[in-house]
Amino acid sequence: MGFFTLHILVPLVFCLAQGSPQLRRANDRQGQCTYTFTVPSPSEGSCTEPGEAMTSIRELQRENAARTQETAGLQTRVSLLEKMVNKFLGGKDLQQATSSPQSWSDNQKELETLRMQKDEWEGQRVSLEMAYSDLLKEKTSLEEEKQKLTERLERVQGQCPPVTEVSRNRDQQVSPRQGPSPSEIHGTGSRTSPVAERIRDGVRDGTADLSRWGADGVGYLELKSELTALPASRMIAENQSNVESLQNTKMGGSCGEITWVGEPSTYRKADNIAGKYGVWMRDPEPVSPFNQDTIWRINTVGADIRQVFEYENLDQLVKGYPTKVYVVPRSMESNGAVIYKGSLYYVRRKSRIIVKYDFKTETIAIQKELSDAGYHGQHPYSWGGYTDIDLAVDELGLWAIYSTDKTKGSIVISQLNPKTLEVKQSWETTIRKNSVANAFMACGTLYTVASYSSPSTTINFAYDTHTSVQKQINVPFKNLYGYSSMVDYNPREKKIYGWDNYNMVSYDVRLSKM
């Protein structure tokens, strides 16, 4: 009775909670009494029709099929992930690999390394995109520069009259001929000027983008110098009677004259456009803490040349490991600087002022103007580059090689007091400065190099300051890389240091004993 009562009460309570119930009593097919309770649904107004029920069933089936497909996809991805993890773990079982704390730690480290590499690669990608953008801008700038140079070249060529006959007559009178003739420069002869060709092609050995370095049209100066240069023999002919009287005179000097220059040895190549021209040297009379192994280097392309690189020795220069970088307070002009007795001597930018910079104190010790000297493109060497004032060191001390308007562009040699920069004595020569590629001093004698670009040129002129005797000479000299912008002599080593189209080179020399 209790059990029956419980079965009756539970449905009654449930029905009362749902709404108004209805109780019905009837006999089933077996004759037993059954009680039926009817409770109205709170969410459905009426029973679903059979058609609607089938629609709902099909929707449920589609939803079930979609979930089944999604489950299969997830299983496939999990399977691929397990394979990748196994490959990453080197074939180890995942459970085995992750069960060990050490393995888990190693995996975490490896993942962190991969994340760092990913970040690094992303940074490199961004840098490359920025570099590419800069290159596009630079390309536009170079095209504009090329157009300007082409227009300048056309103007220069338009201002020069035809000189074929003049060149032919001059070549018949002067032999041997040094440097290109005007007919070769203008294209009326068998070849065209190398500089003119490079400008037309817009490449100029990597110097077309000098404008970005603020180089004040160095390329144009190169072209102008080549168009106006004349052979050294032509310049000496201005004082031919004096030369002829000295042809058989033996040159004097305290240590002899240069009779031989060896093949160039290359030590290092500059790594950017700033190093197309430059200076490198050793101090022939070093002062502590520096020594005779210390090497100095200056890249001289740009409008603000201030950095001087110090290297402990030649090996460190070759490896590219400077000991220190000095920044001088006043910009330099071109590559006429020298190192002497622990100081840097150089020409201040856009001036005729010579500066002495002390490396030990890292200050300017003294400045002095070189009176009447041409500067900033008035009387440069034939290769250009604002090489109006070229400083040099030899066995006798410090020198300045330059020119003046008074001498009409002919080279003047002045010996300087290294402490005060006062001029001790000066000598005038008859060879024009813009007719030679470079010059240097050795044993008190001035030597000039005929060409900066010819692979096989000569040291073609000498002026002895002891006797004021000058003469033509013919000592072979090689420009291995086709653009020598610096030629300086080191009296301690008896070597010539050179800077040839980004390359730092040196030459052994032989001096005759007097």
Prediction pTM value: 0.57
DSSP code of 204?
A: G
Instruction: Write the CA distances from 393 to 10, 285, 417, 487, 498, integer angstroms.
Output: 121, 10, 12, 12, 14
Q: Which of 116-125, 135-144, 240-249, 359-368 has the lowest mean pLDDT?
A: 240-249
Map residue 215 onto helix, strand or coil.
coil
User: Does 104 map to a domain?
Assistant: no
Output the pLDDT for position 5: 46
User: Does 447 map to a domain?
Assistant: yes
291, 292, 295, 296: CA torsion to nearest 10: 70
User: Does 139 map to a domain?
Assistant: no
Instruction: Please write the tens of the pLDDT for every residue from 288-340.
Output: 999 999 999 999 998 899 999 999 999 999 999 999 999 999 999 999 999 99
Instruction: Write the CA distances from 422 to 247, 345, 361, 399, integer angstroms.
Output: 34, 13, 22, 11
Provide the b/e sequence for 151-163 (b: ≥16 CB within 10 Å): ebbeebeeeeeee
Sole residue written with tokens 């029920």: 53
Instruction: Please write the tens of the pLDDT for every residue from 203-231.
Output: 344 443 444 444 444 555 455 544 544 44
Instruction: Write the CA distances from 171 to 229, 248, 301, integer angstroms.
Output: 14, 24, 36
User: Does 446 map to a domain?
Assistant: yes
User: Does 407 map to a domain?
Assistant: yes
Q: Which domain holds residue 446?
A: 235-511
Q: Give the span between the Cα atoms of 35 and 5, in whole angstroms.
A: 13
Output the pLDDT for position 123: 63
User: Does 210 map to a domain?
Assistant: no
Report the domain count for the chain: 2
The helix (run of H) or strand (run of E) holding residue 166 is helix 164-173
Sign of CA dihedral 262, 263, 269, 272: positive
- Report which of 485, 489, 482 is spatially closest to residue 499, judged by C-alpha positions: 485
pLDDT at residue 168 is higher than 90: no
pLDDT at residue 499 is higher than 80: yes
User: Does 372 map to a domain?
Assistant: yes
User: Does 333 map to a domain?
Assistant: yes
Q: Give the span between the Cα atoms of 151 and 192, in whole angstroms.
A: 17
Q: Give the span between the Cα atoms of 266 and 188, in whole angstroms.
A: 36
* Domain at 449, CATH number: 2.120.10
What the block records as the tokens of 70 is: 């999604």
